[in-house]
Amino acid sequence: MSAAVPSGPVARGRPDEVLVAFRNVSKSFRTGSGRAAREVLAVDDVSLDVHRGEIFGVIGYSGAGKSTLVRLINGLEPVSSGSLTVEGFEVAGRKETELAPVRQEIGMIFQQFNLFTSRTVAGNVEYPLKRAGWPKEKRRARVAELLEFVGLSARAGNYPEQLSGGQKQRVGIARALATSPKLLLADESTSALDPETTQEVLQVLQRVNRELGITIVIITHEMDVVRAIADRVAVMQDGKVVEHGSTVDIFARPRTETARRFVSSVLHSVPDEREVERLRRAHRGRLVIVDVGDGVDIGGVLSDGAARGVRFTIAYGGISVLQEQSFGSLTFELTGEDAAVQAVVDELSRITTLREVAA
Ligand SMILES: Nc1ncnc2c1ncn2[C@@H]1O[C@H](COP(=O)(O)OP(=O)(O)OP(=O)(O)O)[C@@H](O)[C@H]1O
């Protein structure tokens, strides 16, 4: 767990107001030609809602289809099949020229910032306003307001190469917000940054969401980013959304192996294979891993067990708090008379999820 990220937000977003709706959306690419031609199914039958006002995370390993999924939203990639609406506007099947109204409502930031190196900071932020035909005075005032918001007023006349990575991304954010979009797409927006700078950018994104009310879809391969700012999250694997739900739920009860791996990458409360081997060598009794959380009375079960001669040792574990709920897991070694230990295992299995570490 990193101390360098802000604590998770209180879940927001309005489930009754769907901003982006995916319905059985697929996207395939044709690669190669002749005999080498093949289809890559980058997004495979995805159905998902993004609610107005929330920060929605999309997490997955490289090649899972995250970027493609998000690029479908603003029509950077056309949908192959299914329905995709933004504020009720059907994006699927539209020509480039028909996408202008939806693109106006969407800003985007990128891993490599994509700034114009030959323009100043102010010039970069001003660019979309020029394209949108804003008069000069209005543009100047808007640029000043945006640079103030991202804390870069003093850097207006600098060129991107004179800025740190975090500052460049803040320019990217200011530019993406210039024409007041309703939705901000952030594609690996912190992946090129060190942990401290990541925190700085995540805090700006949180303010974009909370103070300006802008919905954010953030793609990442880092669970720390999800933990820090996402209200809800979708886990992608091989083009599919294998799991989605509130960030708290995914952390507390990951259902797929992929989600479990992401959660354990930041929580470290469940022993991995090597740690299990070490635990087996160090403990002769029965080893069980139990999920803990608010309202799960593990202590009561262990006290009852103690009355019947069952001893327990905490061999591994960790408990974290996210959005005011505690969760995590503990690995116990249970020793005592077989039937009494079995009674404790049965009772723990009744009140929570229990996995046994094979002998
Ligand atoms: N323009 C394209 N042409 C052909 N194949 C593509 C194209 N864009 C993406 N793909 C393929 O689609 C799959 C999903 O790629 P995508 O970039 O969406 O994944 P990702 O989860 O964002 O990965 P990364 O984090 O590495 O960017 C990959 O197999 C990729 O090679």
Mean pLDDT of 72-98: 94
CB 176 within 8 A of CB 107: yes
Model pLDDT, residue 12 = 65
pLDDT digit string, tens, across residues 185-222? 999 888 888 888 899 999 999 999 999 999 999 999 99
Residue 8's pLDDT band (cuts 50, 70, 90): very low
Pocket test for ligand 1, best of 25, 28, 29 (most atoms within 8 A of CB): 29
End-to-end CA distance of the chain: 29
Residue 295's pLDDT band (cuts 50, 70, 90): confident
pLDDT digit string, tens, across residues 349-358? 999 989 998 7
Nearest protein CA to atom 25 of ligand 1, as residue: 62
Distance (angstroms) between ligand 1 centre and the Cα of 245 equals 24
**Which atom of ligand 1 is found nearest the CA of 41?**
12
CB 58 within 8 A of CB 220: yes
- Cα separation, 200 vs 71, whole angstroms: 25
Nearest protein CA to atom 14 of ligand 1, as residue: 65
Compare 32 and 42 and report the one with higher pLDDT.
42
- Cα separation, 324 vs 320, whole angstroms: 10
pLDDT digit string, tens, across residues 303-336? 999 999 999 999 999 888 877 778 888 999 999 9
Distance (angstroms) between ligand 1 centre and the Cα of 40 equals 9
Model pLDDT, residue 322 = 79
Cα–Cα distances in angstroms (integers) from residue 76 to residues 144, 209, 278, in the given order: 29, 23, 49
The DSSP bridge partners found for residue 232 are 56, 246
Give this complex's ipTM. Answer: 0.95
- Cα separation, 244 vs 260, whole angstroms: 13
User: Is pLDDT of 16 > 80?
Assistant: no
Nearest protein CA to atom 11 of ligand 1, as residue: 42
Question: pLDDT exceeding 90 applies to what percent of the chain?
Answer: 70
pLDDT digit string, tens, across residues 249-291? 898 888 899 998 898 888 878 888 888 899 988 888 999 999 8
**Which atom of ligand 1 is found nearest the CA of 187?**
22
CB 138 within 8 A of CB 70: no
**Which atom of ligand 1 is found nearest the CA of 69?**
18
Model pLDDT, residue 69 = 96
Nearest protein CA to atom 17 of ligand 1, as residue: 67
Distance (angstroms) between ligand 1 centre and the Cα of 270 equals 31
User: Is pLDDT of 6 > 50?
Assistant: no
Nearest protein CA to atom 2 of ligand 1, as residue: 29
Q: In the structure, which protein residues have their CB atom closer than 6 angstroms to any atom of ligand 1? A: 29, 31, 40, 42, 60, 62-68, 221
User: Is pLDDT of 1 > 70?
Assistant: no
Nearest protein CA to atom 10 of ligand 1, as residue: 42
pLDDT digit string, tens, across residues 143-198? 999 999 999 999 999 999 999 999 999 999 999 999 999 999 999 888 888 888 89
Model pLDDT, residue 253 = 82
Q: Which residues contact 344 (CB under 8 A, 6 or more apart)?
A: 301, 302, 304, 305, 310, 312, 334
Model pLDDT, residue 11 = 52
With tokens 């044709």, the residue in question is 30
**Which atom of ligand 1 is found nearest the CA of 30?**
4
* Domains in the chain, CATH or no CATH each: 18-265 (3.40.50.300), 273-356 (3.30.70.260)
- Supply the mean pLDDT for the chain: 91
Mean pLDDT of 118-144: 96
